[in-house]
Structure 1
Amino acid sequence: MTPLTYDVAVIGAGSAGLQAAQTLGRMHQTTVVLGTDRYRNDPATHMHNFLGHDGQPPAELRVAARKDAEAYDDVRFVEAEVTRISGELGAFVLELAGDEPVRARRVVLATGVHDTLPAVPGLAEQFGDLVAHCPFCHGHEFAGARVGILGSAPHTAAMASMLRPIAGELVVLTDGARLDDATAASLDLLGAEVATAPVTAVRRTDDGLEVDLDGAPPITLGGMFAKTAWAPTAPFAEQLGLDVSELGAVLVDGFGRTNVPGVYAAGDLAQGPGMPMPMASVLVAAAGGLLAGAACVQDAALNRIA
């Protein structure tokens, strides 16, 4: 029988939400997981740097993780989009698109973020494979190749430095922008080639990528890194009055607690103490889900005996 009020509502069925659900299910907390079929790492053909799952397609991990969570009687999955959250600790109301509202004593936000790529024709089609944004997740796959870095901001030099031991050659594509003197000097020290012409297109070849430049010969690459602009996928932080960082991430403590009692956040949406930004990693997201789920249980237990 469906409870009138769940102990916890988990919003999001990626690695953070699924791990939170499993943790809560094991502790016999009535839990509803509300999710859609949209995930940040959908474009990725394979995920990497995840203990025991290196090179596995992301969807396979989600299928296995959901099966684990569904094995617990107290966990229920609902395929529905949450449109609004209101209420307070012990009495949150989650409005759903095309379905009846859900009530929960606590809420775990695991809704993630979405990426916006630079507006270069062909770039989005290769994103998640030959174009990536995280060297920890996809850098090794370009080992020994000629690797491009699209961008001109100061972080470009740091990216080039991390990739220097991996790439056979480095090419920084500034897309018509001028590098500042410090960045230019750092790239020169690293031995990186710099192409300043505007990038007009990116396309796949048999050997990797070909990058068209305005007024200059095309450049062939084995892979490319591009910085994305990201934003939360849902407006819940604003609806609930959560504290957010300058980047827009939800600020949490070491256990995923936000500034609003009863609301927790995990995954790419959450920024922990001492972190300059969220760590965009499937493994870190899952760990955050475990911590947020554990915090829900601990806080509920303390409330009962206080």
Structure 2
Amino acid sequence: MINSTSENHVYDVAVIGAGSAGLQAAQTLGRMHQSTIVLGTDRYRNDPTGHMHNFLGHDGAPPAELRVAARKDAEAYADVRFLEAEVTRVSGELGAFVLEIAGEVDVRARRVLLASGVRDTLPGIPGIAENFGDLVAHCPFCHGHEYAGTPIGILGAGPHAGAMASMLQPLSADRVVLTHGETLDDATLALLDRLGATVVTAPVAAVRREGDRLIVRLAGGEELALGGMIVKTDWQQATPFAEQLGLEMSELGAVLVDGFGRTDVPGVYAAGDMAQGPGVPMPMAAVLVAASAGLVAAAACVQDAALARIA
């Protein structure tokens, strides 16, 4: 383990974020003997869920269990150091980045790998937050199978409603689009009718759990029993570092990266839910994808450093 906390010490790479992207990046960097510091807090996007799905070899495992195992793997490499502290500001340039740390001395690094994730904002309906990550979810790949064979709710009247109803059709013939008082456009209505989905236009007053079912109470008092509900969340960068570094962003608010996790600022890389790669319409928000992106971005750090030495 690296023990230096000297203000004069310069790490090869500073990884900000200790979720799956950051932890995999740390392991990759450690294996290539890159002096690495991983700065993380105890806040993670998938904290609300008790079980992680659609991850090779870890299907159904608690997310925290994976993080503990991944950190143990990374800590086995002498060139990797972990610091549980909050980064408040990142500045500088390739070869000379400075990370200001709450309650700690500044950290200096030649390269920075951002893996600090995003933060979800849920629909403001009572009961949604309490059941999010279980009977309420935003990702059908992560939770859809658990709702299979039951009525599945889809909250919202945007264009996503039709696409989601189609995606969920093999899981359940009974899909209920809850528009929450909003109006669907004619094309979406026609699509939902063709897909055999039910449309409920009344506003949703609240949701609650009863056993293994989600009970949706409508504004008029009627109640519906669902096996689960898919909601579309609003999200934003969990940290201000992209803005501080002046990184190019997508229209959705993700950091734009190339196929190797490089941003448009030399020496800055990004991986995980916060980053959007070429050819995709949005960040690919899945634990396995985030870990893979962390590996690729870390490999790019190593490769770029090697090429710089022979240039």
Shorter-chain TM-score range: over 0.9
Checking the alignment, whether the CA contact within 8 Å between 1:34 and 1:77 is kept in structure 2 is: yes
Determine the C-alpha separation between the residues in 1 that align with 2:210 and 2:264. 49
Determine the C-alpha separation between the residues in 2 that align with 1:207 and 1:122. 15
Who is 2:132 aligned against? 127
Q: CA RMSD in A?
A: 0.8
Q: Which moved more, 1:2-11 or 1:123-132?
A: 2-11
Who is 2:299 aligned against? 294
Determine the C-alpha separation between the residues in 2 that align with 1:207 and 1:9. 43
Who is 1:277 aligned against? 282
- Residue 168 of structure 1 and its aligned partner are, at CA, apart by 4.0
Checking the alignment, whether the CA contact within 8 Å between 2:173 and 2:196 is kept in structure 1 is: no
Determine the C-alpha separation between the residues in 1 that align with 2:174 and 2:52. 24
Who is 1:32 aligned against? 37
Q: Does 1:218 align with 2:223?
A: yes
- Residue 167 of structure 1 and its aligned partner are, at CA, apart by 1.5
Who is 1:267 aligned against? 272
- Residue number among 233, 255, 259 corresponding to 1:250 in the alignment: 255
- Residue number among 50, 54, 58 corresponding to 2:59 in the alignment: 54
- Residue 216 of structure 1 and its aligned partner are, at CA, apart by 4.8
TM-score of the two chains, using structure 2 as the length reference: 0.97
- Residue 157 of structure 1 and its aligned partner are, at CA, apart by 0.3
Who is 1:108 aligned against? 113
- Local SS of the residue matching 1:304: helix
Identity %: 75
Partner AA of 1:185 in structure 2: A
Partner AA of 1:278 in structure 2: P
Checking the alignment, whether the CA contact within 8 Å between 1:175 and 1:199 is kept in structure 2 is: yes
Who is 1:200 aligned against? 205
Runs of 4+ residues deviating >6 angstroms: none
Determine the C-alpha separation between the residues in 2 that align with 1:217 and 1:109. 47
- Residue 290 of structure 1 and its aligned partner are, at CA, apart by 0.2
- The CA deviation string for residues 246-269 of structure 1, in whole angstroms up to 9 with x for no partner, is 011000000000000000000000
- Local SS of the residue matching 2:106: strand
Who is 2:246 aligned against? 241
- Local SS of the residue matching 2:225: strand
- The CA deviation string for residues 127-158 of structure 1, in whole angstroms up to 9 with x for no partner, is 00000000111100111001100100011100
Determine the C-alpha separation between the residues in 2 that align with 1:104 and 1:55. 37
5+ residue gaps, structure 1: none
Partner AA of 1:236 in structure 2: F
Q: Does 1:76 align with 2:62?
A: no
Checking the alignment, whether the CA contact within 8 Å between 2:156 and 2:177 is kept in structure 1 is: yes
Determine the C-alpha separation between the residues in 1 that align with 2:206 and 2:164. 22
- The CA deviation string for residues 48-73 of structure 1, in whole angstroms up to 9 with x for no partner, is 11111111110000000000000000
- The CA deviation string for residues 202-223 of structure 1, in whole angstroms up to 9 with x for no partner, is 0000241111111251111111
Checking the alignment, whether the CA contact within 8 Å between 1:197 and 1:216 is kept in structure 2 is: no
Partner AA of 2:59 in structure 1: D
Determine the C-alpha separation between the residues in 2 that align with 1:149 and 1:106. 42
Partner AA of 2:72 in structure 1: K
1:145-164 equivalences in 2 (<5 Å) = 145-164=150-169
Aligned length: 306
Who is 2:147 aligned against? 142
Determine the C-alpha separation between the residues in 2 that align with 1:8 and 1:109. 10
Partner AA of 2:236 in structure 1: A
Determine the C-alpha separation between the residues in 1 that align with 2:118 and 2:35. 26
Q: Does 1:12 align with 2:12?
A: no
